[in-house]
Structure 1
């Protein structure tokens, strides 16, 4: 057996409607599939990011940290805050890029990575 790719990443949420609105508004994600209040899935590049209810999640699962990849982060802080999230910090990794840390509308951490822009 060899792992080929990431199929999906999900984060456990309490309020599916609020969480879905947040990720659509803050990051511009488009809903791919929704199963009532149990699961909402978004296509992100060649992978999937999903929101899970506690009953749909693995036993004991409480959260996740998703790192999204963006070509740039211009205006991202503003859109996250306008959608009900909060900026936490930014880490500059020099020539490797930058990663911004946010809290979503349910105060769960997610990050957005961007590579250094060529000049």
Structure 2
């Protein structure tokens, strides 16, 4: 059987410039490349996340939930950045020894999550 790897997760943006600024400034995602206002690809180590205009997206594409991981001690600071930039906290779930996942909406109401792993004991 062929090995399958996840290449990219993307969300369809109404205003790619606005969301590009949100994810670049708030999450500090490094931009791998931009294709005008059609596509912005972010690259972080082995994973990729992208913003797509409707014309570049798969026909009928709706929603995705990217999950970004941060160190536990960075979660509070990141929360402040997200909400100051127009993001909204929807839920926070403490999973004990596994960590905490917070669910947010970006300025266009796309859902994303921030996972912070629990400290090693």
TM-score, length-normalised on structure 1? 0.93
Shift, 1:118, TM fit = 2.9
SS of residue matched to 2:2: coil
Q: What is the CA–CA distance in structure 2 between the aligned matches of 1:84 and 1:28, rounded to whole Å?
A: 15
Q: What SS does the aligned partner of 1:95 have?
A: coil
Query: SS state of the match for residue 59, structure 1?
Result: coil
Residue 27 of structure 1 corresponds to 27
The structure 1 segments of at least 4 consecutive aligned residues displaced by more than 4 Å after TM superposition are none
Q: Corresponding residue for 1:115?
A: 117
Of 1-10 and 56-65, more deviation after overlay is shown by 1-10
Distance 1:75 1:34 in 2: 27
Q: Distance in 2 between matches of 1:2 and 1:95?
A: 34
Structure 2: stretches of 5+ with no match in the other structure: none
Partner of 1:55: 55
Q: Matched residues in 1 for 2:26 and 2:3: separation?
A: 31
Shift of 1:91: 0.3
Once the 2 structures are TM-superposed, how far is the Cα of residue 2 of structure 1 from its aligned partner? Answer: 2.7
Provide the C-alpha distance between the structure 1 equivalents of 2:103 and 2:89, rounded to a whole number of angstroms. 6
Match of 1:90 in 2: 92
The equivalent of 2:3 in structure 1 is: 3
After superposition, give the CA deviation of every residue in 1:20-62 in whole Å (9 maximum; x if it has no partner).
0000122111211000111000002201100001110111002
Q: Secondary structure at the match of 1:54?
A: coil
Q: List alignment gaps of at least 5 residues for structure 1.
A: none
Q: Over aligned residues, Cα RMSD in angstroms? A: 1.2
How many residues are treated as equivalent by the alignment? 119
- For the residue of structure 2 that corresponds to 1:75, the secondary structure is helix
